[in-house]
Amino acid sequence: MFAGFDEGMVEVARGVRLRVRQGGAGPPVVLLHGHPRTHTTWYRVALLLAAGGHRVVCPDLRGYGQSDKPPTTADHSPYSKRAMAADVRELMHHLGHERFAVVGHDRGSYVAFRLAMDAPGLVTHLAVLDSVPIADALDRTDARFATAWWHWFFFAQPEKPERAILADPDAWYGGDPARMGAENYADFHQAIHNPATVRAMLEDYRAGLGVDRAADEADRAAGRRVSCPTLVLWSSGDDLQELHGDVLSVWSPWTTDLSGGPIDSGHHMAEDAPEELAAQLRRFLAGRPH
């Protein structure tokens, strides 16, 4: 797994180090995983992008996997997408990349989006996978959304989700080593059995319903948009289109240069359809950045 990539820890803020793997040569792209995965979810896609001529950087997000888990606060801002985006910005600066593409899946897509909004001069291309902006998802919440994505609201409750998950992490999260790959599964399995990681992952969701939503709403009120080319992809086997209809129309007000469509995959597309995902990303990244 990750043949030819280097692994290490990089300090990105006081008390926060990210575990990161990097490899390949060429225009840099950083890949941001979702919940409850670690950076190893990208192992197939990362190799394909590196073989296609990219320097590929894969961190564990703050709180996830083997990255550090700083103390939280009453408003959960240490786990905001703004804080996580600042981590990625510092990581890429530390690695010598002043401009770079960013790809995010699931919760990582919110970090990627926030990075493109907060630091537009740094991001050459933005790809968001399996998401609509947090503010839009919450604005559109109805019985169908609450039934399908109930975990957003359960995870925001104090203490109870930790107790429920840690009672039997394997039953809660599932995971199949034959489908995920043995080493990827082992990394994920270790993470979900770490109480500190589980608590940090829940802090991500708690921030989502508060400070992250407020950040989206402030940008929308100010008319701010992503200024770089943006690719939106979603899994045909997931429920994003069922819940939100035309996914591109949801993203259109947030962007200036938008493309995208579905991928024949389950939710974890980097594991289920790595070749198709990598091919779409390579085509997109080959386009001229703004």
271 contacts 157 by C-beta, under 8 angstroms: no
The CA-based angle 90-28-189, given to 5 degrees, is 70
* Cis status, amide bond into 36, omega within 30 of 0: yes
What are the Cα distances from residue 140, in Å, to 94, 148, 188? 39, 13, 31
Structure tokens at 268: 């974890």
* Rounded distance between C-alpha atoms, residue 202 and residue 194, angstroms: 13
Out of 35, 118, 189, 267, pick the active-site residue: 267
**Closest C-alpha to 276, from 236, 227, 242, 219:** 236
Angstrom distance (rounded) from CA 1 to CA 98: 28
Report yes or no: 127 and 102 within 8 Å, Cβ to Cβ.
yes
- Cβ–Cβ < 8 Å for 36, 173: yes
Report the distance separating Cα 55 and Cα 36, nearest Å: 25
DSSP 49: H
Catalytic residue check, 136: no
Out of 60, 106, 136, 238, the active site residue is 106
Output the six-digit token pair for 105.
């899946």
3-class SS of residue 241:
helix
267 is catalytic: yes
Which positions are annotated as active-site residues? Answer: 106, 267
